[in-house]
Amino acid sequence: MYVNTKDILEKASKEYYAVPAFNINNMEFFHAILDGALEKRAPLIIETSEGAIKYAGNGDIFKGARYFVELVRLFADSVDIPIALHLDHGKHFEYIIAAIKAGYSSVMIDASEEPFEENMEKTKEIVKIAHAAGVSVEAELGQLAGVEDNVSAEESVLVDPDQAKIFVEETGVDFLAPAIGTSHGAFKFKGESKLDYDRLKKVKELTKVPLVLHGASSVLTEYVKMAEEYGADLGGAKGVPEDQIKRCVELGINKVNTDTDLRIAFIAGMRKYLKENPKEFDPRHYLGAGKKLVKEVVMNRLEFLGAAGKA
């Protein structure tokens, strides 16, 4: 069934497990994620970036947002696991409104690059609009390092726990993404991954809301190696080790944003298939090979985050 993201995350927060939120841009990733969640009997959060919405709508963001709602609802309504659709990193008012109007379960207002007061004002405004439509809201405090399409910040600025308390109380936001040292993409760290667990613990104690970890891909060696074996160049790729993510879940993270791991698995599967089947040109076959590995990654995440069996 299609549900509000808040319902999924409040249960996870009470029971101290996390639900991965998987980014999609197209049908194939969605099918793979859905199949993985059904097999693991897990609640599911599907999320799309602004870039994904623009892409799916072939440039029209209202069509793009509707495309994802129709796709997700079509399948969610006929299965018995809870499924939510979330707008990831909403930075522009028009995308947030498009997602709310189309029927997303939740939206993120990401004004994290703005000064604290401005972030708070913008978040408050979106909370008012979204809540009136029965849509829950995520916001971010602090900044993640790393660069992606629409998501960039040169250096991390970690969350201030006292500000987090004020922010949650004043804005009425439903879940919060505190920056604790992760970054987006496949090249997260030059040295070792170091997350600020004490800071995370304080934020949970002071806010008590479900917390979100962005930039949480593990960049699994197995898939990086496979992709490289068949022609990819991913030298220096590094993610957050799974045991570090597990520690974050113990300390109060309930939503674990995952995009890069799926992208790497997909490209590894597709490259291998194309190399081994040079005569093949049916998209269902080469895309299907990518899908198979995405499903593996999904099932592994659902398991180690504790979401398996929670549907």
Q: Which does 217 bind (CB under 5 to 8 A by kind): Zn ion, ligand 13P, ligand G3H, none?
A: ligand 13P
Rounded to 5 degrees, what angle do the CA atoms 217, 55, 53 make? 70
Residue in 217, 244, 254, 300 binding ligand 13P, rule: CB under 6 A: 217
In the range 71-90, which residues lie near ligand G3H by CB under 6 A?
Answer: 88-89
258 binds, among Zn ion, ligand G3H, ligand 13P, none (CB under 5 to 8 A by kind): ligand 13P
Burial class (CB in 10 A: 0-12, 13-18, 19+), 91: middle
SS3 call for 255 = strand
The count of chain residues that interact with ligand 13P, using the rule CB under 6 A, is 14
Q: Among ligand 13P, Zn ion, ligand G3H, none, what binds residue 174 when CB lies within 5 to 8 Å by partner kind?
A: none
What's the rounded Cα separation, in Å, for the pair 33 and 131? 28
Decide the pairing of beta strands 146-147 and 152-153: antiparallel
For the record, the structure tokens of 232 come out as 């990819």
Token match 């900044």: residue? 143
| Close Cβ partners of 104 (under 8 Å, ≥ 6 residues apart) | 65, 68, 69, 85, 86, 87, 135
Q: How many CA atoms lie within 13 A of 73 on its CB side?
A: 11
Give the residue, chosen from 6, 122, 214, 301, that forms a contact with ligand 13P under the rule CB under 6 A: 214
- Which of 7, 60, 77, 88 does the annotation list as catalytic? 88
Q: Is 88 a catalytic residue?
A: yes
Q: Cβ closer to ligand 13P: 46 or 127?
A: 46
Stretch that binds ligand G3H, among 47-55, 111-119, 173-181, 244-252 (CB under 6 A): 47-55
Residue ranges that bind ligand G3H, judged by CB under 6 A: 23, 49, 51-52, 88-89, 148-151, 184, 259
| Catalytic positions, written as ranges | 88
Q: Which residues bind ligand 13P (CB under 6 A)?
A: 23, 88-89, 184-185, 214-217, 257-261
